[in-house]
């Protein structure tokens, strides 16, 4: 393992509404193997979809997207590119928004984020952008044309990461976490 960075846990979120992937802010969450209990993406396994085209759709596979993490800085850059006031982490379905690592999306797979409670998330790589958050953003800014598709291009390389819970524990807004970079 390589160098590490200290980051602030700016916000914690959960996707616990039946009809949307958009997350709701909470002060703290418990990370368990599989993610955050009650979250839309919770589980050790999931069914293969469009992103896992090497498997027949519906095949049960390991869930590499238990947790979604974005950086406040990258959200601001995406908003700037789209020429909108702001892009909120919850519109992207994020579980955690961190502050202090502007190049979060470039974090190498195998890197870790470790929280004061001892909880740890293993980075599985970039969360590739799709049109679903773009639709939410378009709804928020109806006067701006083509935000749904523009979001995908504007957020590539800055959309955040997905990860798995490597060590259970609590995470809280305001915590200082350590990002340990994997030297690949």
pLDDT on residue 50:
86
Which residues does 142 contact at the CB level (< 8 Å), separation at least 6?
A: none
Q: Which of 37, 14, 21, 6 is nearest to 168 (CA)?
A: 37
- Considering all CA atoms of the chain, what is the largest pairwise distance in Å, rounded to the nearest integer? 47
Task: Say how far apart CA 165 and CA 173 lie, in whole Å.
Answer: 18
pTM: 0.95
CATH number of the structural domain spanning residue 15: 2.40.33.20
CB 163 within 8 A of CB 124: yes
**Per-residue pLDDT for the chain (184 aa), expressed as one digit of tens each?**
568 899 999 999 999 998 899 999 999 999 999 999 999 999 999 999 888 999 999 999 999 999 999 999 999 999 999 999 999 999 999 999 999 999 999 999 999 999 999 999 999 999 998 899 999 999 999 999 999 999 999 999 999 999 999 999 999 999 999 999 998 6
Total count of domains within the chain: 1
pLDDT on residue 2:
61
Task: Say how far apart CA 137 and CA 33 lie, in whole Å.
Answer: 31
Find where tokens 């982490």 sit.
89
Q: What is the per-residue pLDDT across 55-71, written as a single tens digit (0 to 9) for each?
A: 999 999 999 999 999 99
Round the CA-based radius of gyration of the chain to a whole number and report it.
16
Task: Say how far apart CA 60 and CA 63 lie, in whole Å.
Answer: 9
CB 163 within 8 A of CB 34: no
CB 14 within 8 A of CB 26: yes
**Which structural domain range is residue 113 located in?**
4-180
Task: Say how far apart CA 165 and CA 121 lie, in whole Å.
Answer: 5
């Amino acid at each position: 393992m390589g160098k590490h960075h200290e980051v602030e846990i700016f916000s914690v979120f959960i996707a616990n509404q039946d009809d949307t992937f958009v997350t709701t802010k909470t002060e703290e969450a418990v990370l368990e193997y599989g993610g955050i209990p009650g979250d839309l993406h919770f589980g050790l396994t999931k069914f293969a979809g469009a992103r896992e085209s090497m498997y027949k759709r519906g095949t049960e596979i390991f869930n590499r997207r238990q947790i979604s993490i974005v950086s406040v800085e990258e959200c601001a850059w995406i908003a700037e590119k789209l020429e909108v006031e702001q892009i909120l982490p919850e519109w992207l379905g994020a579980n955690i928004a961190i502050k202090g690592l502007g190049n979060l999306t470039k974090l190498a797979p195998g890197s870790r984020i470790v929280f004061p409670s001892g909880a740890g998330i293993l980075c599985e790589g970039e969360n590739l952008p799709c049109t679903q958050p773009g639709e939410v953003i378009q709804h928020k800014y109806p006067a701006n044309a083509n935000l749904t598709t523009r979001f995908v291009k504007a957020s590539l390389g800055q959309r955040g990461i997905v990860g798995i819970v490597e060590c259970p524990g609590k995470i809280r807004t305001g915590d200082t976490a350590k990002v340990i970079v994997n030297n690949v």
